[in-house]
Amino acid sequence: MNLPEDFEVDTGLLSGCFKHTSATYKFYWMLALLSEVEQGKERIEKSALFARMVSQAWYTVNYFKVSFGANDHLQQAIENLKELESLPVDASPDAVHRVLMQSTKAETQRTLRHFDINVPHKFLSPWVGSGSKKGVYALSQHGYNNPPYALYDDHLLLQPAWLQYFRKYAGILRGFCLWHLTLFLQTRNPNVPDVPSKLIRPQLRGSLTPHKKRFWDIVLNELGGMDCIYTGRRLNVGEYDMEHFIPFQFVAHDQMWNLIPADPQFNSRKSDKLPVLADYFDAFYRVQHEAVSIIRDVKPKSKYLDDYLQVSPSQDLSPAAYRAVLEPLVTIASNNGFQFMEG
């Protein structure tokens, strides 16, 4: 993926910012810059950028628990700020940014200022080299080699040609940055599914109503109801929730092979907890196997049957095939910080 060329700025140097990086800060610094530029700013307070970095990575770290690496200071800052400000894991970027900008807590301000040690001036290394912080600031203020911005103690000032470039190609630049961020995170989370969809907080979760009406309502009508595998409560059409067996926060999809009817009260308690397979796999498998058999008979052309190809390309829903899919996901999710349900 290449950046749009421009006669006024060196896009090759900008592209070089994202090569051979060992942390996420450059990606989120660039995303923060673009967000501020899109709000019409030319003079940008550093504090606003640091808060924007945290807010844009918030959902990825807290909700989906994607690892940035053991020594990544941005991930550590987000985890600290979640506790300091009592913010929910699924808070929107604007809400996180607003709270951080308004916070008067000394520890919050200290956490955000930590990024000033390296982030603003090291981003400019392709233009002005990797000299001392004081030297980079001086070179940037003199416009040496036409860097994107000039650095000052508490703010930065975007250079006119770069400001125009950022405004014109903001969407493409954001896509370029997210693409490189995806590659970076995939190397650190090789077994985590669908990393790209975990970089941006969705405005709304998809509705599971079609999954009910076109699949599970049919199954329950054919069976005359079923027992919740968790509580044993009898479930009938209109009296159940759709439950992600492995949490949505990890799998990031609503495919039918991971969905099951559940007692609504239990579903709200389970939240993002992992099931203990030794306790629940057999019952989960029996319900899924019976459901697929019914849909194959009643609606053999249902698109939802295709979801089960991920379990087995031949649609062989044997216990071994199902367990072979679920066990690694549960293990990886647990290693990434997801907790198991209490017995």
The β-bridge relationship of strands 259-262 and 241-244 is antiparallel
Domain boundaries defined on the chain: 11-198, 209-335
Tokens of 26: 């450059």
Q: What is the pLDDT of residue 1?
A: 67
Give per-residue pLDDT as tens, 107-138: 999 999 999 999 999 999 999 999 999 999 99
Task: Transcribe 3-65 into DSSP letters.
Answer: PPP-SSS-HHHHHHTTSS--SSHHHHHHHHHHHHHHTT-SEEEHHHHHHHHHHHHHHHHHTS-
pLDDT for position 97: 96
> Comparing C-alpha atoms, which of 297, 300, 203, 295 is closest to residue 256?
295
Q: What is the value of pTM for the model shown?
A: 0.76
By the 8 A CB rule, do 120 and 128 touch?
no
pLDDT of residue 214: 95
Q: How far is CA 115 from CA 51, 81, 313, in A?
A: 10, 14, 47
**CA quadruple 241, 247, 252, 258: dihedral positive or negative?**
negative
Closest to 25 measured CA to CA, from 89, 87, 68: 68
Cβ(336)–Cβ(250) below 8 Å: yes
Structure tokens at 28: 């989120």
**Rg (alpha carbons) of the chain, rounded to whole number:** 24
Strand 43-45 and strand 155-158: the pairing is: antiparallel
Q: Which residues of the chain have pLDDT under 50?
A: none
Q: What percent of the chain has pLDDT over 70?
A: 98
**What is the pLDDT at residue 337?**
82
pLDDT the model gives residue 119: 95
Amino acid 343: pLDDT: 63
> Residue 122 and residue 111: Cα distance in Å, rounded?
18
